[in-house]
Amino acid sequence: MPEMAEVQRGLQDVVALESRICFIDGRQGRLIYQGYDIRDLAARSTFEEVAYLLWYGRLPTATQLEDLHRRFGELRTLPDELGQRIDQMPVGAHPMDILRTAVSALALFEPEETKPGASSIGGAQRLTAVLPSILGQFHRRRSRLPPLKPRPELSQAAYLLYALVDREPTELESRALDVALILHADHELNASTFAARVTASTLSDLYSAVTSAVGTLKGPLHGGANERVMELLDEIGQVDRTEEVVKAKLVRHERIMGFGHRVYKVEDPRATILREWSRKLGEAKGDLRSYELLRALEAVVHQEKGLYPNVDLYSGSIYSLLGVPRDLFTPIFAASRVAGWTAHVLEEYQDLRLIRPTAKYVGAVDLPYVPVSQRG
């Protein structure tokens, strides 16, 4: 057997490709999109601006931003056939399964975007604009809410909130969600983005790559953690039970959702910003219960395991305060990360290299074949 390089399980610390889209400094706890620090973007930009930045590599002018806002409004409408198919999907299905299925089905009605290598920024804009509509179509039917309208005047964040909670969001609510969408928009070669790039590297299409990414994001070790953090808060119930519940989980070697990260060795800068928004929104709504439980949880997990919060720790408390049902938390993550997924797919097409690592074979070799009639 030829001598092979050492196995890097989970491809930890493996540098797989060069990219201009996102830089993570895990030791300093810094996150940069196309050269801009996430703290500046979260404080001063919008999801529309960030999506433009990720796709084009520069911030938009006022006219370009207005054009993108208008395009998003135009591209929110679902094909009737897809709306009908979503209406036939089981109301008990998890919205991430609906999203994965609907993105895949959408490709059937938009074949021009699914020719190999044909995918463009137009396809990226379409997928980014339409994900909230897919979620709203499903959620409104299962909740017997009035049918969705495209509402082109609403920003992406306000439209997503309108789609999921069927009311006019306040300025503070729209801004809270807009910041969350900015913070979730990209994160270098996280598992779902890597899945999208692997798909694109075969010259498969953008819709197939996003379908791969949605299926990957669903996992509780990745995008699914935000939903499980809130389930953990239910289990803890009150601040003075935090230490008892966490210690019992750690003894059973269970993971505490919302903590730890493959790259950050200090606090995830997105958690820092989301913690502040969880407090701000909780104060505005007179409900700091989740925020206080999360602060207590942070203290115990750091004391017991030296772990820091990641992006998933506070996001669910914000979505809960906005009235979003828990099983829609990870779909919100997807509605933001689709901007990053599509930016990475387009970058992969520009500098294409089939992604195909190898495995260190540790199985048997040269076994003699025994006919089935002679096997015991």
Active site residues: 222, 261, 312
* By CB under 6 A, residue 132 contacts ligand SDX: no
Which of 127, 209, 232, 257 binds ligand SDX (CB under 6 A)? It is 257
8 A C-beta contact, residue 170 and residue 163: no
What is the three-class DSSP state of 18? coil
Which of 199, 201, 278, 310 binds ligand SDX (CB under 6 A)? It is 310
Q: Which is nearer to ligand SDX, 169 or 260 (CB)?
A: 260
3-state percent helix, strand, coil for the chain, nearest multiple of 5: 60, 5, 35
x/- track of binding to ligand SDX for residues 279-308 (CB under 6 A): --------------------------x-x-
Specify the DSSP class assigned to residue 287: -
Instruction: Give min distance, CB of 283 to ligand SDX, in A.
Output: 26
Degrees (nearest 5) of the Cα angle 202, 205, 209?
80
The DSSP bridge partners found for residue 32 are: 23, 37
Q: Compute how many other C-beta atoms are within 10 angstroms of the C-beta atom of residue 333.
A: 27
Q: Compute how many other C-beta atoms are within 10 angstroms of the C-beta atom of residue 332.
A: 29
Degrees (nearest 5) of the Cα angle 55, 61, 62?
120
x/- track of binding to ligand SDX for residues 226-245 (CB under 6 A): --------------------
Number of residues that bind ligand SDX (CB under 6 A): 20
* By CB under 6 A, residue 262 contacts ligand SDX: yes
- Single out the residue of 42, 19, 34 nearest to residue 201, CA to CA: 19
* By CB under 6 A, residue 311 contacts ligand SDX: yes
C-alpha span between 49 and 64 (Å, rounded): 9
Instruction: Give min distance, CB of 300 to ligand SDX, in A.
Output: 11
Burial bucket for residue 79 (CB in 10 Å: 0-12, 13-18, 19+): middle
8 A C-beta contact, residue 105 and residue 65: no
C-alpha span between 206 and 342 (Å, rounded): 7
Which of 4, 221, 266, 284 binds ligand SDX (CB under 6 A)? It is 221
Instruction: Give min distance, CB of 256 to ligand SDX, in A.
Output: 4
Q: Which is nearer to ligand SDX, 113 or 298 (CB)?
A: 298
Instruction: Give min distance, CB of 15 to ligand SDX, in A.
Output: 15
Estimate to the nearest angstrom the gap between the alpha carbon of 60 and the chain centroid: 23
* By CB under 6 A, residue 344 contacts ligand SDX: no
Which of 5, 6, 10, 88 binds ligand SDX (CB under 6 A)? It is 10
Which of 34, 45, 128, 190 binds ligand SDX (CB under 6 A)? It is 190
* By CB under 6 A, residue 4 contacts ligand SDX: no
Instruction: Give min distance, CB of 140 to ligand SDX, in A.
Output: 28
Which of 131, 256, 293, 294 binds ligand SDX (CB under 6 A)? It is 256
- Residue by residue, DSSP assigns 59-76 as PPPHHHHHHHHHHHHHTT
Q: Which is nearer to ligand SDX, 280 or 305 (CB)?
A: 305
Cα atoms found within 13 Å of the Cα of residue 234, Cβ hemisphere only:
8
Burial bucket for residue 177 (CB in 10 Å: 0-12, 13-18, 19+): buried
Which of 29, 215, 260, 269 binds ligand SDX (CB under 6 A)? It is 260
Instruction: Give min distance, CB of 199 to ligand SDX, in A.
Output: 17
* By CB under 6 A, residue 331 contacts ligand SDX: no
The DSSP bridge partners found for residue 24 are: 31
Element (H, E) at 36: strand 36-37
Instruction: Give min distance, CB of 22 to ligand SDX, in A.
Output: 9
* By CB under 6 A, residue 183 contacts ligand SDX: no
Where does this chain bind ligand SDX (CB under 6 A)? 10, 187, 190, 221-222, 225, 255-263, 305, 307, 310-312
